[in-house]
Amino acid sequence: MVEISLRRHLPLLLLNQSGRRQRNPPPGPKPWPIIGNVNLIGPLPHRSIHSLSQQYGPLIQLRFGSVPVVVASSVSMAKLLQNHVLNFASRPKTAAGKHTAYNYSAMIRSSHGPYWRYLRKIYLTELFTPKRLDFHEKIRMEETGLLLRRIHDSSGKKIRLKTHLWNANLSFVSQIVMGKKFSNEPATALEELKKMFEELLFLNGVLDIGDCFPWLGFLDLKGYVKQMKDLGKRFDGFLEKVICEHQMRRKDVEILGENDMIDVLLRLADDPNLEVKIDRTALNGISLAIVMLCILVISFVNVIS
């Protein structure tokens, strides 16, 4: 499930919207009236886009309803985007970004500006530094040992290795981000969280009709927006509990330690000299995005290794 979702997301990261008329647009299929090129996108968008790039080249333009979309699908074109990073740093305002990323507060969903730049700074200087990653080496070794033990205990039985890897990845990530050790929780707790993230990955890969046809968004023909709103409420409850636990623990100790990434974010949020204020909505959005990013990266490593 994770590998499929990851493959679905990668090509979508290269999409960019532009409302300006282009003098010399990239090649691409002729759009139909009203629907544009939506009819050419199948249930697996990354495969549909790959087929179109084979026909029209590594840089093509599509129209999703009234929205023009430029797709880069080669190393050279990706470098071209990198050279114009300020023009491509922002992300489209989609339903998924609004309802599952706390109103675009996650870095991957926010518009380029002071907030986006500060989040990037936090990622580079606070959350994913070599020192912090080394700090979590003990957790990595412990989770690897538990994974091997569970597989050994299943000797002689038919197992699904992907499920064991999913559980190990999520348990590791939840510890380094939230300080939550699911091996001490009922198995149902880890299973419920896993289902929530599987649903989150799926909903962030779908193409909602309202993203292409804003005037039809209220219909929610496939029910995706309702799903997103329901999932957002479930994550609200989960993250509120985690953050409240961290805040209570911080009140009970004189010398504050930073055992996980939420501890770091709470320290930054309490800083009166912070360049950009991190409110509760942003705190939830950043926390959720970090967990999702870690899961995607670790799962991608598992796929290619």
The reply to whether 253 falls in a domain is yes
75 and 98 housed in the same domain: no
On the CB side of 264, how many CA atoms lie within 13 Å of its CA? Answer: 20
55 and 195 housed in the same domain: no
72 and 121 housed in the same domain: no
Which of 64, 88, 112 is the last residue before a domain boundary? 88
111 SS3 class: coil
Which of 66, 88, 110 is the last residue before a domain boundary? 88
Task: Specify the CATH number for the domain of residue 101.
Answer: 1.10.630.10
171 and 245 housed in the same domain: yes
102 and 46 housed in the same domain: no
Q: First CA to last CA across the chain, in angstroms?
A: 17
DSSP bridge partners of 62: 69
178 and 292 housed in the same domain: yes
Residue 183 confidence (pLDDT): 61
CA–CA dist 70, 53 (Å, integer): 11
199 and 181 housed in the same domain: yes
Given pLDDT bands bounded at 50, 70 and 90, which one contains residue 184?
Answer: low
| Helix, strand, coil abundance in the chain, percent, nearest 5 | 65, 5, 30
- Distant-in-sequence, close-in-space partners of 94: CB < 8 Å, separation ≥ 6: 109, 208, 211
**Burial zone of 224 (CB within 10 Å; 0-12 exposed, 13-18 middle, 19+ buried):** buried
Containing structural domain, residue 102:
92-304
How much is the average pLDDT of 65-80?
Answer: 84
- Distant-in-sequence, close-in-space partners of 156: CB < 8 Å, separation ≥ 6: none
Which of 68, 88, 108 is the last residue before a domain boundary? 88
266 and 185 housed in the same domain: yes
The reply to whether 175 falls in a domain is yes
Contact indicator for 65, 34 with CB cutoff of 8 Å? yes
The reply to whether 5 falls in a domain is no
84 and 96 housed in the same domain: no
Q: What is the mean pLDDT of the chain?
A: 81
174 and 300 housed in the same domain: yes
User: In the chain, what percentage of residues exceed pLDDT 70?
Assistant: 85
The reply to whether 7 falls in a domain is no
The reply to whether 292 falls in a domain is yes
Would you state the structure tokens that stand for residue 286, as one six-digit string? 């950043």
Given pLDDT bands bounded at 50, 70 and 90, which one contains residue 193?
Answer: confident
Residue 21 confidence (pLDDT): 55
83 and 107 housed in the same domain: no
pLDDT for 8-23, tens place per residue? 433 433 444 444 555 6
57 and 167 housed in the same domain: no
- The total number of structural domains in the chain stands at 2
